């Protein structure tokens, strides 16, 4: 193993390498000999082997979580917030190490890895304040000497299934809010990025131990699809929060819905930026290029389509081509590079397949894509970001490919551009680049973007903690992070108190004995 990565693992408390993690019911498996290997897409090296949890391990975790919930739910919310605050401080202390590990295991740039840990810190800060603001409403009763109000209670166990592209941040979005709401958590990370999850568990476990918190409040279980299916079909887990593909989300939603559970789904995106004739083209270029190639196009908010006004189409296309010529592709830990690798060779195969399908449908590539080879690309996961001129109704354009493939589409009127933007099955993030106030307001109006996120003069990629994150249509409809997303992790209860000496019925119903 790379000695620098080994020292980082040691700093994070993960001292075993190239061997099974003997971590028991907290995150791995004791009774199962099946293993899961984590390879870095940066250099192709094996960085960890973890045991996969078996059914017996899963049942042990459920039992501990159920027991811990009984204690955790009665701790005052501000006290729970204080513990989450300490977790945020622990993340500050470990930001460089954890951010580097995220970059090495997942393949995103070091700046993005550090930014992901900053997101974790930010959601902890948000949750601390929220722990004193879990407000309900009071209502006037139609009956005299009665008081009505509502309050919110924790659900119980929150199951979190996260994806490889944000291996730690999305877990923290869910966990920080779920914890201050009084829930306990079971986290199944992507089987492609288990090591960063183990590191997070080490960090938060130390915080819980320092506060004498019962074992089982925050749990990690490593496994494949089978473990996820155990969770989604388990009536003891009232809420499943799942991040991943639309295909996965449909399966999760069906399974949880069949048992009348709750699901919070964050699924695929097919995000577009409209480049208006009134846009600042230089500013638009930055948003478009980062949106398309950041994280090697592996964000659910990555920019897949540019819908460009015909009057600036050729000029902006030339700017894009020149910008792509300047992209540096390589080791994401080298901060001189703009683009790192795809997560694995399966992702590379999907990238190549999408390019061929695009060409077969008539797409014209103005920047060709390819797989990079040579000493610096030994993992086989590095590809060249590419650009194609297409029509919006191409089947491949309607499909989300998790890779740096950018599609260019020309438009004449804003109504046409909005129709093109909305004309895909997904509905996560969207943006318009314009200095025209009327265009901006139309894009944000009810007849504008149909996405959960709609931006003006910033790109589709990236979101701040304070706003609710999520999308519509095949993106799943879930909302995480800011605003009132906390309500998804709680159950609402309406209370009526009669402080009179009679018992009047609602709606004036008479029932005399």
Confirm if 329 and 294 have CB atoms less than 8 A apart: no
Q: What is the DSSP string of 202-226?
A: HHHHHHHHHTTPPTTSEEE----HH
93 a catalytic residue: no
The number of beta carbons lying within 10 Å of the beta carbon of residue 444 is 14
Confirm if 116 and 298 have CB atoms less than 8 A apart: no
Instruction: Find the catalytic residue in 119, 266, 474, 480.
Output: 266
Which residue spans within 52-182 are E strands per DSSP?
A: 138-140, 146-154, 157-161
Count helices and strands in the chain by DSSP H and E runs: 15, 21
Confirm if 345 and 394 have CB atoms less than 8 A apart: no
What CA–CA distance (Å, rounded) separates 168 from 98? 9
What CA–CA distance (Å, rounded) separates 128 from 485? 15
3-state helix, strand, coil in the chain (%, to 5): 40, 20, 40
For residue 242, CA distances in Å to 130, 204, 424 come to 23, 21, 22
The number of beta carbons lying within 10 Å of the beta carbon of residue 39 is 18
Which residue spans within 310-460 are E strands per DSSP?
A: 364-367, 386-389, 405-411, 426-427, 429-433, 453-456
Confirm if 222 and 197 have CB atoms less than 8 A apart: yes
Confirm if 315 and 280 have CB atoms less than 8 A apart: no
List of domains in the chain: 62-267+476-492 (3.40.605.10), 271-464 (3.40.309.10)
* pLDDT of 270: 98
* pLDDT of 416: 98
Confirm if 430 and 302 have CB atoms less than 8 A apart: no
Mean pLDDT by 10 residues, the chain (513 residues): 72 60 41 79 91 90 96 98 98 97 97 97 98 96 96 98 98 98 97 94 95 95 93 98 96 98 97 98 98 97 98 98 98 96 98 98 98 96 98 98 98 98 98 98 98 98 93 97 97 97 91 84
What CA–CA distance (Å, rounded) separates 151 from 182? 13
Burial of 125 (0-12, 13-18, 19+ CB in 10 A): middle
What CA–CA distance (Å, rounded) separates 242 from 248? 9
How many C-alpha atoms does 339 have within 13 Å on its Cβ side? 28
* pLDDT of 14: 82
What SS3 class is residue 241? strand
What CA–CA distance (Å, rounded) separates 477 from 427? 9
Largest pairwise CA distance in the chain: 91
Confirm if 452 and 479 have CB atoms less than 8 A apart: yes
* pLDDT of 286: 97
* pLDDT of 24: 33
The sheet that has 184-188: what strands, in order across it?
218-220, 184-188, 157-161, 239-243, 262-266
User: Taking the model in full, what pTM does it have?
Assistant: 0.95
For residue 140, CA distances in Å to 137, 146, 147, 495, 496 come to 10, 8, 7, 12, 10
What CA–CA distance (Å, rounded) separates 404 from 409? 16
What CA–CA distance (Å, rounded) separates 297 from 293? 5
In terms of phi and psi (left: phi > 0; alpha: psi -120 to 50; beta: otherwise), the region of 383 is beta
């Amino acid at each position: 193993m790379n000695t620098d990565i080994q020292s980082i693992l040691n700093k994070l408390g993960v001292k075993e390498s190239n061997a099974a993690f003997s971590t028991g019911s907290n995150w791995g498996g004791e009774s199962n000999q099946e293993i899961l290997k984590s390879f870095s897409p940066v250099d192709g090296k094996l960085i960890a082997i973890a045991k996969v949890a078996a059914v017996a391990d899963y049942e042990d975790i459920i039992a501990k979580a159920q027991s811990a919930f009984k204690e955790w739910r009665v701790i005052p919310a501000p006290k729970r917030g204080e513990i989450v605050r300490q977790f945020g401080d622990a993340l500050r202390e470990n930001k460089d190490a954890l951010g580097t590990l995220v970059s090495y295991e997942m393949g995103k740039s070091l700046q993005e890895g550090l930014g992901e840990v900053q997101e974790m810190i930010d959601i902890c800060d948000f949750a601390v304040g929220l722990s004193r603001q879990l407000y309900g409403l009071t209502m006037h009763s139609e009956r005299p000497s009665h008081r009505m109000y509502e309050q919110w209670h924790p659900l119980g166990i929150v199951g979190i299934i996260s994806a490889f592209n944000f291996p730690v941040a999305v877990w923290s979005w869910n966990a920080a809010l779920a914890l201050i709401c009084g829930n306990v958590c079971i986290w199944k990370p992507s089987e492609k990025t288990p090591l960063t999850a183990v590191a997070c568990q080490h960090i938060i476990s130390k915080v819980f131990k320092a506060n004498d918190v019962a074992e089982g409040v925050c749990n990690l279980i490593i496994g494949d699809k089978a473990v996820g299916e155990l969770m989604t079909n388990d009536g003891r887990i009232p809420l499943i929060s799942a991040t991943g593909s639309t295909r996965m989300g449909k399966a999760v939603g069906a399974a949880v819905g069949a048992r009348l559970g709750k699901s919070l789904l964050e699924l695929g995106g097919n995000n577009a930026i409209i480049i208006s004739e009134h846009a600042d083209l230089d500013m638009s270029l930055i948003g478009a290029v980062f949106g398309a190639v950041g994280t090697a196009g592996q964000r659910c908010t990555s920019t897949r389509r540019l819908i460009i006004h015909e009057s600036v189409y050729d000029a902006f296309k030339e700017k894009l081509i020149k910008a792509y010529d300047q992209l540096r592709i390589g080791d994401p830990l080298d901060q001189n590079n703009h683009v790192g690798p795809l997560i694995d060779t399966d992702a590379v195969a999907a990238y190549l397949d999408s390019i061929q399908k695009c060409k077969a449908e008539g797409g014209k590539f103005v920047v060709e894509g390819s797989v990079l080879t040579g000493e610096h690309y030994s993992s086989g996961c590095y590809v060249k970001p590419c650009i194609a001129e297409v029509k919006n109704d191409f089947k491949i354009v309607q499909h989300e490919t998790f890779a740096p493939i950018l599609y260019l589409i020309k438009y004449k009127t804003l109504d046409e551009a909005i129709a093109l933007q909305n004309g895909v099955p997904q509905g996560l993030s969207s943006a318009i680049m314009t200095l025209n106030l009327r265009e901006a307001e139309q894009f944000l109006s009810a007849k504008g973007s149909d996405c959960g996120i709609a931006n003006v003069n910033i790109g589709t990629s990236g979101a701040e903690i304070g706003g609710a994150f999520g999308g519509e249509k095949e993106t799943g409809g879930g909302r995480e992070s800011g605003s009132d997303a906390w309500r998804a992790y709680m159950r609402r209860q309406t209370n009526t108190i009669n402080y009179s000496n009679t018992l009047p019925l609602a709606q004036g119903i008479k029932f005399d004995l």
